[in-house]
Structures are given as C-alpha cells and as structure tokens.
C-alpha cells in the first residue's frame, strides 16, 4: 500500500507543479503583491483549485488503474461528485500551501537579512563620517590658541596639547569599536570642555555632575559627546558674554540618563532637525537601541535642554 500511494503522488506531480507554480509565480506576485487585486486573486485561485481538483479526480479514476493495477478497485469508489471533487481539491491544496509558505517565508527572511545588512553598512558609513565630526573651526582655533600660548608661556600650552592629543586618540582608536567604556567617554567630554575654556577663558562656564557608578558601563562611542558638542554651537551662533552649560549624568542600574542644558538659543531650536551630528545620533539610536532609547530636545523656561535616556 505504501508503494501504491507513492506511485499515486508521483503521477500527480505534474498537477502539483502546475497549481503551485502558477500560484507562486503569477497569482501571488502579480495580483497580491504588485496590484493588490484581492477579488481577482480569490476568483482565479478558486478556479485554479477547482480545475486542478478535477484533474486530480480524473487521474484517480482513469489513469491510476492503468499504471497501478492494484488501485483499480479503490479508484472505482470515486466519482465526479462533491465528495470526489473535494478530495481532489484537498490533495492539491496541501502541496500548494506548503510550497508557497516555504517560498515566501524564505523570501521574507532573505529580505530582512538583506535589509539588516544594508542598515549595518549604512550605519558603518555614518560612523566613519562621525569621525570627522569635530568642528574644523574648533580645531583650528584651538591650535592657534595653543600656538600663541606656547610662544608666550609653554607651560600653559602643555595641558591643551595633552587634551587635544587624547581627543584625537579617542576618535582614531576607540571609535572603531562597537562600544567603549563610559569612563573614556567622560574623559573625552572633559578634554573638550577644557579646550573650549582655553578658546574662551572668560566666557565659558561649565558644570559637569555625575551620579551613580560609571565603571563597567559600555556605550557606543561619542553618543554623549555629540550632545555636548551640539550645545556648544550655541556659543558660536550668538555673541554671548557668558556662556553657561550644565551637564548631568546619572547611572542607575543598567539605565543611563544624560542631560545637557544651556541658556535658550533660537538658532539651536531652528537648526536641530538639520544638524548632521544630531541626525546621526538619532539614526544610531534608532538602529542600535530602537526600543531602549529616547532623545528629547526642548525649551524649559529660559533654558535649552537635551536629554538622552538609554538602556545599553
């Protein structure tokens, strides 16, 4: 009996192939995926199923007894009635559903893998672009100030040279890693603040408070730094006599909150959606932590506040 059923399905293979391939390569892609013609798809699919079921029933009644003599008696039990047609449609429907399910599941998987690969490639391109994120004018101004300080008092220039060397070292080496220690990111921010004070010794006032244990916390590099650098653009956008920045970092368990605020700056509000650094930060958060991050930008009274919440 086993060999009889195997022979029966082998004879049915042309019908199976016709129904499954016509559905997989014509009905589904052209009527469902491309043109969204659902009614036409249902009508043509039912017609295909009925036609294939009739072919299966015809094969069972007239062809099986010719090639499989022992099935002559069982084949005589089927007639062209509701039961026989339903049976034929059922045996066609099983391989049709199985083939199309596997095919489009495979297509969905390949599409998502390819999408993830493209997003990863795009993210890597953006990360390489971020390596040159430090404002060229900031570097030029810092080097000019270090040059003047070295000519007048070399001892004053030494800390600035050390700070800028550490920053460039971080960008060159730490930025190639997926994550870096939070302590190194904090040191990068402090070096940047010291250089800003060197460029504007009388106008820049910065406070940086940290609550919670920062050791053992790893973050993608330059996420917090991007927020700090973005705030300092306000000092460049306006002629201010005293530019005050408040930075506050809180680590609670596996959650990291970072607030950066300065006095209200209309230029930042109006350019927040066009700034490349902030846009790249949002994209990185969306790719690396789509469900575990939030970046808010708002005005609170006379202050501009940038808040990052992250669960690394």
Q: Are residues 115 and 187 in the same domain?
A: no
Residues 141 and 66 in one domain: no
Helices (H) and strands (E) in the chain, counts: 11, 7
Number of domains in the chain: 2
Last-in-domain residue among 100, 128, 156 = 128
Question: pLDDT tens track of the chain, all 312 residues?
Answer: 676 667 766 777 888 888 888 888 888 888 877 778 888 888 888 888 888 888 888 877 777 776 665 554 555 556 677 777 787 788 788 888 888 888 888 887 777 777 777 766 666 666 555 554 555 656 676 777 777 777 777 777 788 888 888 887 887 777 667 888 999 999 989 988 888 887 777 777 889 999 999 998 999 888 898 888 888 776 665 555 567 889 999 999 889 999 998 876 655 555 555 566 777 788 888 878 888 899 988 877 778 888 999 988
Residues 98 and 138 in one domain: no
- Chain centroid, CA 7 distance in Å: 50
Residues 107 and 138 in one domain: no
Asked if residue 166 and residue 142 are part of one domain, the reply reads: yes
Question: Are residues 57 and 148 located together in one domain of the fold?
Answer: no
Rounded alpha-carbon distances, angstroms, from residue 23 to 29, 48, 93, 104: 9, 9, 11, 12
Confidence at residue 50, expressed as pLDDT on a 0 to 100 scale: 87
pTM higher than 0.75, yes or no? no
Cα dihedral 216, 222, 227, 230, rounded to 10, equals 160
The residue out of 128, 162, 180 marking a domain boundary is 128
Answer with the one of 106, 128, 150 that is the final residue of a domain: 128
Same structural domain, 119 and 137: no
Report the pLDDT value the prediction gives residue 209, as an integer from 0 to 100: 94
Query: Within this chain, do residues 140 and 179 fall inside the same structural domain, yes or no?
Result: yes
Q: What is the pLDDT of residue 267?
A: 59
If asked whether residues 183 and 77 sit together in one domain, one would say no
Q: What is the pLDDT at residue 1?
A: 63
Strand partners, 250: 211, 257
Task: Tell me, yes or no, whether 188 and 101 share the same domain.
Answer: no
Report CA torsion sign: 136, 140, 146, 147: positive
pLDDT of 212: 92
CATH of the domain at 294: 3.30.565.10
pLDDT at 156: 73
Q: Which domain holds residue 72?
A: 2-128
Q: Is 309 exposed, middle or buried (0-12, 13-18, 19+ CB in 10 A)?
A: middle
The pLDDT value given to residue 82: 76
Q: Are residues 152 and 296 in the same domain?
A: yes
DSSP 55-84: HHHHIIIIIHHHH-GGGHHHHTT--SSHHH
Using CB atoms within 10 A of its CB, is residue 228 exposed (0-12), middle (13-18) or buried (19+)? buried
Do 34 and 146 fall into the same domain? no
């Amino acid at each position: 009996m086993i060999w009889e059923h195997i022979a029966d399905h082998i004879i049915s293979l042309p019908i199976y192939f016709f129904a499954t391939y016509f559905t997989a390569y014509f009905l589904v892609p052209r009527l469902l995926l491309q043109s969204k013609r659902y009614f036409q798809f249902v009508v043509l699919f039912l017609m295909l199923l009925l036609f294939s079921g009739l072919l299966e029933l015809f094969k069972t009644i007239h062809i099986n007894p010719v090639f499989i003599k022992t099935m002559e008696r069982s084949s005589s039990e089927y007639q062209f009635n509701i039961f026989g047609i339903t049976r034929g449609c059922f045996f066609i429907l099983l391989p049709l559903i199985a083939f199309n399910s596997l095919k489009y599941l495979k297509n969905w998987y390949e599409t998502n893998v390819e999408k993830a690969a493209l997003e990863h490639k795009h993210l890597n391109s953006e990360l390489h672009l971020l390596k040159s994120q430090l404002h060229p004018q900031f570097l030029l101004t810092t080097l000019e100030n270090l040059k003047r300080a070295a000519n007048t008092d070399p001892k004053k220039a030494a800390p600035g040279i050390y700070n800028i060397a550490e920053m460039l070292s971080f960008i060159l080496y730490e930025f190639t890693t997926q994550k870096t220690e939070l302590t190194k990111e904090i040191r990068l921010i402090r070096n940047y603040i010291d250089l800003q004070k060197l460029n504007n010794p009388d106008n820049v006032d910065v406070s940086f408070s940290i609550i919670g244990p920062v050791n053992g916390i790893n973050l993608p590099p330059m996420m917090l730094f991007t927020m700090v650098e973005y705030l300092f653009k306000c000092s460049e956008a306006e002629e201010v006599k005293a530019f005050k920045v408040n930075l506050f970092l809180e680590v609670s368990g596996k959650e990291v909150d970072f607030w950066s605020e300065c006095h209200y700056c209309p230029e930042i509000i109006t350019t927040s959606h066009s700034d490349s650094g902030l846009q790249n930060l949002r994209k990185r958060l969306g790719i690396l932590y789509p469900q575990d991050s939030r970046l808010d930008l708002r005005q609170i009274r006379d202050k501009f506040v940038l808040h990052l919440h992250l669960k690394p």
